[in-house]
Chains A and B, each alone.
Chain A
Amino acid sequence: RKEVEQDPGPFNVPEGATVAFNCTYSNSASQSFFWYRQDCRKEPKLLMSVYSSGNEDGRFTAQLNRASQYISLLIRDSKLSDSATYLCVVKNTGFQKLVFGTGTRLLVSP
């Protein structure tokens, strides 16, 4: 079983739609959680951190459920520029390394 699992998609949505991505992780010792964004043929960049209390950044909302070991990302009012791959990432204790999911591809169409 992969340590971080995501639906690879693609998710095809029209502009203005709301879309949600989910992710599960298997290591209960994971301590920090993130969503990274990766544009086609580009490097990953941090989109936002994820907290148990939930956090929002503009049109983006991230949630963490530690009991279910589940992370989510909600994008409201999708823009064409949101088209990218969204990587779910957990940071484990010990070596403090990041473990990436396979990513979920989002395609926003006019």
Chain B
Amino acid sequence: EDQVTQSPEALRLQEGESSSLNCSYTVSGLRGLFWYRQDPGKGPEFLFTLYSAGEEKEKERLKATLTKKESFLHITAPKPEDSATYLCAVQADSSYKLIFGSGTRLLVRP
């Protein structure tokens, strides 16, 4: 069964304190791995799609990497406005639907 596990569930950082979020997955065949940011009561905001092991993508203070078993979302020098829930999702090659993990709630303190 296709499955996504994210860790940690919650993360508190001081402003400027870099860290990484983990997304472990098992999928029959990976079409793509997606990262989203979600603010409370809002829709998930698309960040990245990664397709193959070794791929990396960056956007401002965020960098996503992918291996055959997991993905990392690295946050460099975070700011309070980076506080949100970060969702990881996989798309199997048998379907276009996204299978989400439970997310990591990030709080960045000034």
A binds B: no
Which residues of A are at the interface with B, using a C-beta cutoff of 8 A? none
